[in-house]
Structures are given as C-alpha cells and as structure tokens.
Amino acid sequence: MEKEIVLDGLKVRMEVTGEGHPLILMHGWGCDHTTVRSIAATAAQTNTVYNIDFPGFGGSQEPSEVWGVDRYTRLVEELAAKEKLEAPVLVGHSFGGRMAILYASRNKTDKIVLVDAAGIKPRRSPKYYMKVYSFKVAKRFWEIMLGKDKAQKRIDRMRAKRGSSDYAGASPMMRRILSKVVNEDLTDRLPMISVPTLLIWGENDTATPLADAKKMSRLIPDAGLVSFPGCGHYSFLDNPVQFRAVLSSFLRSQS
C-alpha cells in the first residue's frame, strides 16, 4: 500500500506491506524505496514494513535547508510516533544505516539490521584535504567577487564536475546535504546500541568497506557480522538468495 504522510512539514512517501511487528526500512543515498523492495518482500513475511522515501528522494519532498543525520533521524522518530510504532525493527542500507544507528542509540528498538551501512568517517588522504582547502579558498574568492549566492552556484558547478557520481547527480540542495552527512562520524554511538544487531556486508564493498563493518561489530555490544564474498555495496542485490536466508532467520529469531 502506497501512503503519504507529512513529517517535519514535508510530504513523505512510503510503501507499507506485510503484517506483524513494525519494521522501518531505510534506503541508501541516491535511491528510494523501490531499490530495497526485495528486502521489504523478505521482511514482510514476518513484519509490517514501512519502506520510506527520505526527503529529497523518490516521491518525498526535498528539504528547503541543509539537513544532517540528526534531522533525518528525527523525521524517522516522528514517523514512529505518528504511526505508533513501538520499539520497531530498523533496517538501513548505506545512508539509511546512519539513521538506524542514531535512532537505535537513543530510542527503544527491537533489533536492527545494517546492510553495507555508512556511519564510520572514512580515512582521508592529504590529496583530499588539499582539494577541500582549494574549494574553501575558491568559495571565499568568489563570494568577494560575485556575492554569496552567485559564488555558491559557481562552487556547486565545480564540485559537480569533480565530485562523485552521487554528488554530480544530486540537486544543489542535496549536494549540500551530502557534503554534510558524509562527514558525520557515528562511531561514538555504536556502543549505545543495546539490541541484537545484524551486519550484512559485501566483501568487495568500496563505498563502505568491510573494515567499517568489523569496527561496528566490535563496538556494538550484541552484534554479528555476515559477509558475502564477491559482493559489493549492494550485497542484497549481488547475492539475493543468501541475503534472504540470513535476513529471514534473524527476523524470525527471538530478541
């Protein structure tokens, strides 16, 4: 069932399927609820699945200001309150994993599943910091020459040409949001997660490497890691049969 709800003043689209204990499914950056429908189909065998489009993705409205992980998480918290979802299961892929981590660290949850999840701040090379510094210098120069608004547009174009495909494919507002969220480190939140946690990872994931999963597994008190050889950042698509089996087993287990 397709459903639209107003959260934090924005229209948010979601797909609700299945029956049972509530489960909130959160997609990755540049995706929407359709990307993770295969996960929803498995989860719907045991749970009522709320498969949402985050603001700025799919059928949901784009934020009018720069959001960070906390703002997106507060939206999920508002969803749980409005829909009366008590201690939901959380499943987050990539970007969605950030909200799962933060939500579970400060709210009652039943269990969580992190799929090739983001949340560990990546190690940066000196080249990266030189790139960031050059953008800051350029931004300041163009602000003096052109004014703040025109300077921001010029910097956005520069970043789009030199940045990642996620950055290049995003709107100006979503580019600013991406720049903010990718630099948010949630490592200190991991020990605060007190519920059973399953980490499912592709061993060839280059976006959120397996080393991140191992670190999460060490820091989350009740965590287990399952990794799939030959799979990348979309492990649930690369190895759907094993993924379904592992996820289904975890969702059916007692907390």
pLDDT of residue 24 exceeding 80, the answer is yes
Mean residue pLDDT of the chain comes to: 89
Domain ranges, residue 173: 126-180
Among 134, 161, 180, residue at a domain's last position: 180
Supply the pLDDT for residue 132.
45
The reply to whether 242 and 155 lie within a common domain is: no
pLDDT tens-place string over residues 205-247: 999 999 999 999 999 999 999 999 999 999 999 999 999 999 9
CATH of residue 91: 3.40.50.1820
User: Average of pLDDT values for 47-57?
Assistant: 98
The reply to whether 186 and 216 lie within a common domain is: yes
The reply to whether 38 and 100 lie within a common domain is: yes
The reply to whether 245 and 141 lie within a common domain is: no
List the 197-202 sheet strands across, edge first. 2-7, 10-17, 47-52, 21-26, 89-93, 112-115, 197-202, 223-228
**Domain total of the chain:** 2
User: Which token pair is 155?
Assistant: 């910097």
pLDDT tens-place string over residues 124-150: 444 444 444 454 555 566 666 677 777
Supply the pLDDT for residue 129.
40
What is residue 54's DSSP assignment? P
Among 180, 198, 219, residue at a domain's last position: 180
The reply to whether 90 and 190 lie within a common domain is: yes
The reply to whether 116 and 176 lie within a common domain is: no
In degrees, to the nearest 5, what angle opens at C-alpha 21 toward C-alphas 20 and 22? 110
pLDDT tens-place string over residues 66-105: 999 999 999 999 999 999 999 999 999 999 999 999 999 9
The reply to whether 117 and 158 lie within a common domain is: no
Find the helix packing angle between 95-106 and 69-82, rounded to 10°: 60
